[in-house]
Amino acid sequence: MSSELEREIARRRTFAIISHPDAGKTTLTEKLLLYGGAIHLAGSVKARRARRHATSDWMELEKERGISVTSSVLQFPYKGHAVNLLDTPGHQDFSEDTYRTLAAADSAVMLIDAAKGVEPQTIKLFKVCRMRGIPIFTFCNKLDRYGRAPLELMDDLEKVLGIRAWPINWPIGSGPDFRGVYDRRTKEVIVFSTEGDHGETEVGEKRIPLASPDIKSLLSEAELEKLNEDIELLDIGGEPFDLELVKKGQLSPMFFGSAMTNFGVRPFLDVFLEMAPTPAPRQTFTGVMEPSNPRFSGFVFKIQANMDANHRDRIAFLRVVSGRYEKGMNAFHSRLGKEVRLAKPSQFMAAERTAIEDAWPGDVIGLFDPGQYRIGDSLATGGLVEFEGVPRFSPEFFAICRTKDPLKRKQMEKGLEQLAEEGTVQIFQQLQMGMKDPIVGVVGALQFEVLQYRIEHEYGANLTLDRLPYSVARWVVGQPFEAKTFDWDGNRQTVQDRDGLPLVLFRDEWALQHAEEKHPELKFVAQAPQLRGTQFVSVA
């Protein structure tokens, strides 16, 4: 391995932030960018009428609703590190995008609302992280409000998620009395300045050893007594910190703070980047691809259309796995079976992009996509490489898609095709006589609203969605399958996917079970056959 490749791998940190909606994920993302020097003034997500919006929320619908519905790629330097922050949707109806983004991450920051503890969406996303074996760091947020006791939050992680937490720091006070944190490794108290500008700029910090006689000038006797009691409890009841267990995803370093006021953000960022892993190898169908392999390789985990409304472009987000990417290079495209030019490379700060000359393992780059990429595609120099494990999802909500203006049908079809390439929706063709309108399938019902919004604002067509009573989709494999001879009694409907493969939409699990009993010669599967480089996941 060249010394340059080795050095660049050591500098990289690529991670995703996961949480339940409203835990403060977009706010924390914004503050990490602030401390990383990527932005100079943090916008308030709460102030929807304000001039500024969260940097990571670039879609107009996100700004209007005050929620994140797409993943953003945010890259910035910090203290010698090259940081790739993969911001993910907070709303559970868009967890599909989050699951795919986790395939490109090497670690995850799990954000917990200190008042609510572990919540349902957090549990789902934690399971995906655990399944992939990636390190998980916990940040307990909203300490500026009264919440549950820190020991309760630790207990919650162990009982609900089955992972032990090791507090790296410990809060001093809570709610309006949240003063700072105690760093258990350096045995220092970090007190934050209460004179601020509502979290728009970096907060002042003062560090002093707990054993210093000057500590009494910063903390009251009651605060000192409570802190010493808590430290004694942690030291007596806990085991020594083990970074190897963290790397295996079996122990979660725990931090406390308030993303809204910036209290605890810098202490978290400093330690996290020190402990977080460098770019990890990825599994291919023929073995493991190490980052240190000089051969360039990577995989597409996200496609986004119309990031630049003026140019109607489409960007394929590629995670670099090994070697060095160089501008203008060619690579072998696994699915197409031919060499392609990796054109117009860029890196991102949400929707803002910067042209780049090269990229290294762990980096996420945007490639101009003329329609040749799909989620899960692998690219490599020197011949065929196919990576495993980019999730695809069997949809759970379905609707017939029509345009209100027949003259806008071509715009509707183009928009649906592009959003299907993104993985936002799946498109199915009806097979019954005279049924020409496409069926769209989504994982979360709110995706229908995003679909209508984007088709109208990006393609100029107004949609009508007629919801269908189905909740289960299964591809059909096994014996030769004739859709016309497969009975349809209202509980199911046969359709084709974009690759011409037959699948059946069932009203519920009972209808699926009935079909399995009635047609033992057929096999109904949740994963589309003959598609490699993808992995189907149940979001239940």
The residues that bridge with 534 in the sheet, in sequence order, are 390
Q: What is the mean pLDDT of residues 29-58?
A: 57
CATH number at residue 137: 3.40.50.300
Residue 45 has pLDDT above 50, yes or no: no
Please give the pLDDT value at position 48. 34
Mark whether 113 and 134 lie in a shared domain. yes
- Spell out where 152-289 has E strands: 164-167, 169-172, 180-183, 188-192, 205-209, 251-256, 282-284, 287-289
Residue 40 — pLDDT band, cuts 50, 70, 90? low
Other C-beta atoms closer than 10 Å to the C-beta of 506 total 22
Distance CA 484, CA 352 (A): 50
Residue 69 has pLDDT above 50, yes or no: no
Mark whether 54 and 167 lie in a shared domain. yes
Domain C-terminal end among 391, 412, 432:
391
Domain C-terminal end among 357, 391, 425:
391
pLDDT tens digits, residue range 328-369? 899 999 999 999 999 888 876 645 678 888 999 999 998 988
Say if 5 falls within a structural domain. Answer: no
Q: Is 274 helix (H, G, I), strand (E, B) or coil?
A: helix
Name which residue leads in pLDDT, 30 or 480.
30
Q: What pTM did the predictor assign? A: 0.79
Say if 229 falls within a structural domain. Answer: yes
Mark whether 341 and 267 lie in a shared domain. no
Q: What is the mean pLDDT of residues 375-384?
A: 92
Mark whether 346 and 230 lie in a shared domain. no
Question: How does strand 81-87 pair with strand 72-78?
Answer: antiparallel
pLDDT tens digits, residue range 215-274? 998 899 999 999 999 999 999 877 889 999 999 999 999 999 999 999 999 999 999 999
Distance CA 504, CA 466 (A): 18
Could you tell me the residue range of the domain that residue 459 belongs to?
394-537
Mark whether 268 and 294 lie in a shared domain. no
Mark whether 228 and 322 lie in a shared domain. no
Q: What share of the chain is helix, strand, coil (3-state, %, to 5)?
A: 25, 30, 40
Q: What is the mean pLDDT of residues 286-312?
A: 84
Mark whether 41 and 167 lie in a shared domain. yes
Please give the pLDDT value at position 300. 93
Please give the pLDDT value at position 423. 75
